[in-house]
Structure 1
Amino acid sequence: MKHLTLPLLAVLALCGFKPFAPPRADPGPVSLSIVDRDQDLELPTYPHRGQRWVAGRQGHPYAVRLRNNSDARVLVVLSVDGLNVITGDVAAPNQTGYVLDPWQSADITGWRKSSQEVAQFVFTDPGRSYAGRTDRPDNIGVVGIAVFNEARRYVALARPAPPVARSGSRVQPQPQASETADAAMSSAKTTGSVAAAPAPALGTGHGRREQSYSGSTGFERASTAPAQRLDVRYDSERNLIARGILPARLPHRDAGPQAFPESFVPDPPGYGGR
């Protein structure tokens, strides 16, 4: 299946996703989170200087979880390490993406290889990441979305039927609702720089293939500018500590023998007397 790149129509619909409840309170119609698939855990986010960070683990596959918190369809353009996850091109908001139906959620688990398969997203070192191996390492360490609202469709008023025929007004065909999906965007600019930040320890690899079905659907964007831009940055736990995003863990110290442990004297084994 050829993925179109026209700014008004280029979308995919993912198959097999169900509505979710309750919606999250993230600003904008779509919420974005990272799921460690080995742990089946939605990774906690840590705010820092206007950015949101998660700590990934080397070798773990992950998914980008998208939730549409609105009652209307949206187009989501999804970018990983600055690359469009459907086409592999350097990401831009006007590219192809996925469509999310109202109140639906979708886990995007990899780089799309066809309408039936993806190559898993896997946390790996930057040199082995897909962006690094294709000589496009500038934006390693960020997952982003650009979200577009759907244009309102003009529905003509039904003309009154002639008095003799009295035929009913013709019902306008309604667009067919697509199943859950998501979208890709260019990575957003850094809100604040971090002094002496370590080099990224993690990127996203091109992992093993797995089944993931999608189909084509029509979508007309309400505007050329996205209604929402959202980023989540990721790195290793060690680097997040070095950046000051996570507190340093204090080493566990053995207290050793205590002269006054504040407890009563227990009976020795086998003691039966009084």
Structure 2
Amino acid sequence: MFSLWLGAYNQGLAYAGLALGVYLTLRVLNFADITVDGSFALGGGMAAVLITNNINPAVALIAAVLSGALAGCVTALIHTRLGVNDLFAGILTSTGLYSITLRLMDRSNIPLIGLDFGLDSDADWALALSLVVLGLIALLALLLATDLGLALRALGNNPTMARANGVSGAKGLTIGIALANGLVALAGGLVAFYQGFADVTMGLGSLILGLGAVIVGESICRPRTIPMALAAVVLGSILFRLMIAIALQLGLEPVDLKLVTALLLLGALTLGRLRLPGLADGGRRL
């Protein structure tokens, strides 16, 4: 039983980058970005390809982050330069990323079982992932407190006023979406390492998982500051995985997980009364 909970905790931490990336796009930039479905799989595939070619895991994860950031830049450019709707821009990029990831991996699945990450137990993974996530929270909190971070927050909160004060909407969105998808790709690499394989379809439904983590965390913690919000998102990621672990423990069939995930998200959204881009106002923007 303990190993089940510890495994869910580790999975929640591995997916924390996904949740933080979704938080940046939805909450900070007010941008509904579906690119995450593609950048998550791209990050996992990039990390898997490099580590199977004897590249250091840290270097492989950095490459995954850069690949995800590049994908985010593509979406931002499609939206800002070509005037394509944010949802359609993300769909276009995510669709193209499927073929790119498949080409990169040269097959649909890359097994990583047997590779040495220097982490021999779930306890080792828990410590390593905790340190990584704490570092991400600290770095993001510092970034969002800088002039650049304040500009990004202003752009998402009131783009007209932000542009009137000299904030470039195109550059701001490009930086923010690239950063968010870099975090998502990092999560893809960490999940691939932890679960022992990378799959070209592993990104399907990533947006829902990230959104679920954001909603659960904010519904429970009701954060009032940026650092608290980032911590709440990570907590939401862990709790979301724990909910799924509980459902499995109660005898739920794995084929029903998508339905349960949708119902959990709907319940949290209803109870939390939170605002999403395009939906009615119901939450407080930080």
Structure 2 length normalisation: TM-score? 0.24
Higher RCO (CA-CA < 8 Å; seq separation 6+) = 2
Largest Rg, 1 or 2: 1
From the two aligned structures, give the one with the greater strand fraction: 1
Structure 1 length normalisation: TM-score? 0.25
From the two aligned structures, give the one with the greater helix fraction: 2
